[in-house]
Amino acid sequence: MLSLIDRRKLSRSAHDFIDENRLHSLLDLRVGPERLDDVIAKSMSKQPLSVDETAVLLAADRPEMVEKIYDAARRLKQDVYGNRIVLFAPLYVGNECTNDCQYCAFRRSNPDVVRRTLDEDELRQQVLALERKGHKRLILVFGEHPHYDADFIADCVRHVYATRTGRGEIRRLNINAAPLDHDGYRIVKEAGIGTYQIFQETYHHDTYRRVHPADTRKGNYLWRLDGVARAMEAECDDVGIGALFGLYDWRFEVLGLVAHALHLQKHYNVGPHTISFPRLRPALGVKLHETHLVGDKDFKRLVAIIRLAVPYTGMILTAREPAEIRRAVLGFGVSQIDAGSRIELGGYTEVGDAQVMEREQFELGDIRSLDVVMRELLVDGYIPSFCTACYRLGRTGEHFMEFAIPGFIRNFCTPNALTTLMEYLVDYASPETRKAGEEAVRRELEKLPEGERKNQLRDRLRRIAESDERDLYF
């Protein structure tokens, strides 16, 4: 059976840590305001919450309690991430797939989807198109297929980093692909990847079996659950986890994500670098089961609750969500978004404004341009950032945590966000966005304390505005 795995290939921490009876019992919790306040206080002290404590936040569904959770999430976001929002773009490389996930247009049994794998020049053309818009951070996305093995992924990574145009370059490349074995992760790490993302999709075993046929590689729950642990053991120390909300009870999935983060923290002394929380979207040939679809009100709650449960884990909100929802939940703790995204194979050069469902894994909710999204962020008081400094200076995984101490934001994150923002304003922005951006840079500079770092920053911003110097990070 294809889903059988060689246990010797698993990580040293591999076991099924999802105790369903316990998680379900926690969903029947009743909580009072004092218990809620205790849990929020722990979160505000920037300590990760336990699964039980996270269940308290899930149980706190009275309007006044939910408002308290929203308020705390906003304050914690500001405390840990300031008003920075890191930007990236997805780039689909190939949609051949041997799996048959029931919620995905790329599943092997879907005859209507256009199958394609970008060749080297097509990949290059997509990257050039993204660089000409100002992107510096990408995530490469692959189906699960023998064609997309570690060597193929590593080659794609090297091609992308080698592709430059004018002042355009990609400085950080994350990967969303199938789980690999230790050797595979070492190969892609060697090529210089940032985060390796693997979504469990659902932590509920029966649902997992229902949507992932047993005769597929993805049909093996433990091989996938253990995927990022193997990556960490192979020195891919920035990993991303996620669940596809709408397959099962969203509250259960939140507890599953927290249990996964705590499992990594316990065995590798560092949690996931990022958590993603995509909601099911319409997709070609996919019939969505309505039972567990997550409404906007519950979606806002899950974003705020995840924020409070994992204070130091980045939270990624993608363009699956419509613009107005993205705008509404950003403040609850989101730290990264994509913008100007197209997910059709070849989508950055071959498709117009309308989405082409035959070439997409699912329908996007927000296909506004990078420049429009940048301007909205600036108007809303955020600092759009393309920073890649920590990754390139080896401040990753456990070492990143050393730095995520008070003062780090002021001395590194905000200055680096402002230098990358200035690059965008000078090299790519529309006049309206440049005006809003320069106002934001002035505003943020005023907030920073006088001293050595501020003088260095002023000097770098001037050099970016007046010369060809670029990539001036701290």
204 vs 461: CA distance, rounded Å: 49
- The least CB distance from residue 306 to ligand SF4, in Å, is 22
CB 243 within 8 A of CB 257: yes
Q: Strands (DSSP E) along 143-284, which ranges? A: 172-176, 196-197, 239-242, 274-276
Residue type, position 159, single letter: H
Distance (Å, whole) CA 59 – CA 39:
12
Whose structure tokens read 């996919």? 286
Q: Please, what is the minimum distance in Å from the beta carbon of residue 209 to ligand SF4?
A: 14
CA atoms of 12 and 402, how far apart (whole Å): 25
Q: Please give the Cα distance from 179 to 308 (Å, whole number).
A: 28
To ligand SF4, the closest distance from the beta carbon of 283 in angstroms equals: 9
The least distance separating ligand SF4 from the CB of residue 244, rounded to whole angstroms, comes to 8
Q: Which structure tokens are listed for 95?
A: 């949609």
Q: How far is the CB of 357 from ligand SF4 (least distance, A)?
A: 14
Instruction: Region of 351 please: left (phi>0), alpha (psi -120 to 50) or beta.
Output: beta
Give me the least distance between CB of 313 and ligand SF4, in Å please.
Answer: 23
Decide whether 93 or 193 has the Cβ nearer to ligand SF4. Answer: 93
Q: Where are the beta strands (DSSP E) in 162-259?
A: 172-176, 196-197, 239-242
Question: Residue 116 and residue 471: Cα distance in Å, rounded?
Answer: 34
Neighbouring CB atoms inside 10 A of 267's CB total 16
- For binding to ligand SF4 (CB under 6 A), which residues are involved? 97, 99, 101, 104, 106-107, 143-144, 218
Q: Which CB atom, from 107 or from 171, has the smaller least distance to ligand SF4?
A: 107
- Which is nearer to ligand SF4, 1 or 405 (by Cβ)? 1
Nearer to ligand SF4, 141 or 304 (CB): 141
Return the structure tokens found at 4. 């059988």
Residue 97 vs 173, nearer CB to ligand SF4 = 97
**CB of residue 71 vs ligand SF4: minimum separation in angstroms?**
36
CA–CA separation, 156 vs 141, rounded Å?
11
Q: Please, which residues bridge with residue 240 across strands? A: 197, 274
Q: Which is nearer to ligand SF4, 222 or 448 (CB)?
A: 222
Look at the block and give the residue holding tokens 């290939």: 9
Instruction: Name residues whose C-beta falls within 8 Å of residue 361's C-beta, 6 or more positions apart in sequence.
Output: 92, 95, 104, 105, 106, 141, 283, 343
CB of 247 to ligand SF4, least distance (A): 11
CB of 108 to ligand SF4, least distance (A): 7
Compare residues 49 and 104 and give the one whose CB is closer to ligand SF4.
104
Q: Within 10 A of 427 (CB to CB), how many other CB atoms are there?
A: 14
| C-alpha closest to that of 474 among 396, 397, 420 | 420
CA distances for 165 relative to 124, 168, 257, 340, 419, angstroms: 11, 5, 39, 19, 19
Beta strands in 254-367 (DSSP E): 274-276, 314-317, 336-338
Q: Which is nearer to ligand SF4, 208 or 428 (CB)?
A: 208
State in angstroms the smallest separation of the CB of 425 from ligand SF4.
Answer: 37
Q: How far apart are the first and last CA of the chain?
A: 51
- Closer residue to ligand SF4, CB minimum distance, 104 or 378: 104
Q: Which CB sits closer to ligand SF4, 114 or 128?
A: 114
Give least dist CB 123 to ligand SF4, A.
18
* Nearer of residues 89 and 101 to ligand SF4, judged by Cβ: 101
